[in-house]
């Protein structure tokens, strides 16, 4: 069949910005931001690297597109619920997104710092969140404070300080010292870790329940905000 394009090179559907971004997100989900490269995205799409530049200006703009893609996955605000429920559900949805895309928080944070303005989806997300607070009776001043207080719980940091089960693929380059030495060097961490592992009655296995901890912190912050609001009224 002369003139027929090489099947290995031809993709079923034509290339598009959406297909490029989807492939990029999938690649980053699998191997982290370091494993992401224009060349690998092209390879996965069965396309020559330069073909990507028809749909994204460069790698920087690709990263912005990836942020918009994943932030767009956050559930929209629920209708008809009170402000507190709405904020709570939304932040928990954002957290699930960040857990699905572990590379996202660092990329978002870096972008936030060096770009003049966040990407459109981030802007929309923050805007909707402000609207929820306003509808809940918060003054402008208090909404301003509230956004700062929520801080990284809105986006950009998924709160896992201690990973109890290290990722299976992670090669421990420097093997951690034996538990006794760890306990001697960091007595308070050891004491805390012991207590947490000990009284884990309802929690399956050792270590702490990240989901519970996240919601605990979130609820405490929300309590404080509500108290401030009522005091101002």
Partner DNA sequence: ACCTGAACACCGTTCAAGT
Question: 48 to 107, contacts with DNA by CB under 7 A?
Answer: 48-51, 53-54, 58-60
Q: Does 99 bind a copy of itself (CB under 8 A)?
A: no
Contact of 143 with 187, CB cutoff 8 Å:
no
- Residue 50 interaction partner, one of a copy of itself, DNA, none, beta carbon < 5-8 Å per kind: DNA
Q: Does 19 bind DNA (CB under 7 A)?
A: no
d(CA 94, CA 155): 7
Cβ at position 157, least distance to a copy of itself in Å: 4
Contact of 118 with 126, CB cutoff 8 Å:
yes
Task: Tokens 């932030």: give the residue.
Answer: 71
Q: Which stretch binds DNA (CB under 7 A): 34-42, 145-153, 154-162, 224-232?
A: 34-42
Cβ at position 60, least distance to DNA in Å: 6
Helical residues (DSSP H) of the chain, grouped into ranges: 17-31, 38-44, 59-71, 83-100, 104-114, 120-135, 140-150, 179-185, 187-198, 210-232
Q: Does 216 bind a copy of itself (CB under 8 A)?
A: yes
DSSP one-letter string for 14-52: PP-HHHHHHHHHHHHHHH-GGG--HHHHHHHTTS-GGGG
Q: Does 202 bind a copy of itself (CB under 8 A)?
A: no
d(CA 57, CA 195): 53
Number of residues that bind DNA (CB under 7 A): 15
Among 6, 79, 127, 180, binds a copy of itself (CB under 8 A): 127
Contact of 200 with 206, CB cutoff 8 Å:
yes
Cβ at position 22, least distance to DNA in Å: 17
Q: Does 221 bind a copy of itself (CB under 8 A)?
A: yes
Among 112, 197, 200, 226, binds a copy of itself (CB under 8 A): 112
Number of residues that bind a copy of itself (CB under 8 A): 72
**Residues in 6-35 at the binding interface with a copy of itself, rule: CB under 8 A:** 32-33
């Amino acid at each position: 069949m002369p003139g027929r394009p090489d099947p290995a090179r031809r993709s079923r559907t034509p290339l598009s910005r959406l297909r490029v971004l989807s492939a990029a997100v999938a690649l980053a989900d699998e191997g982290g931001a370091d494993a992401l490269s224009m060349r690998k995205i092209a390879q996965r799409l069965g396309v020559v690297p330069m073909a990507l530049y028809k749909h994204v200006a460069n790698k920087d703009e690709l990263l912005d597109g990836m942020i918009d893609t994943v932030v767009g996955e956050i559930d929209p605000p629920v209708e008809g619920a009170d402000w507190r429920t709405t904020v709570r559900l939304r932040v928990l949805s954002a957290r699930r997104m960040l857990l699905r895309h572990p590379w996202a928080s660092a990329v978002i944070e870096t972008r936030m710092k060096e770009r003049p303005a966040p990407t459109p989806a981030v802007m929309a997300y923050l805007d909707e969140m402000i609207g929820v607070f306003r509808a809940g009776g918060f003054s402008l001043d208090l909404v301003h404070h509230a956004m700062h207080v929520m801080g990284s719980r809105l986006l950009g940091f998924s709160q896992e300080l201690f990973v109890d089960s290290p990722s299976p693929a992670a090669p421990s380059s420097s093997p951690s010292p034996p538990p006794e030495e760890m306990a001697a060097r960091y007595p308070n961490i050891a004491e805390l870790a012991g207590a947490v592992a000990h009284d884990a009655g309802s929690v399956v296995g050792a270590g702490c329940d990240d989901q519970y901890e996240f919601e605990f912190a979130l609820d405490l912050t929300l309590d404080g905000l509500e108290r401030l609001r009522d005091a101002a009224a």
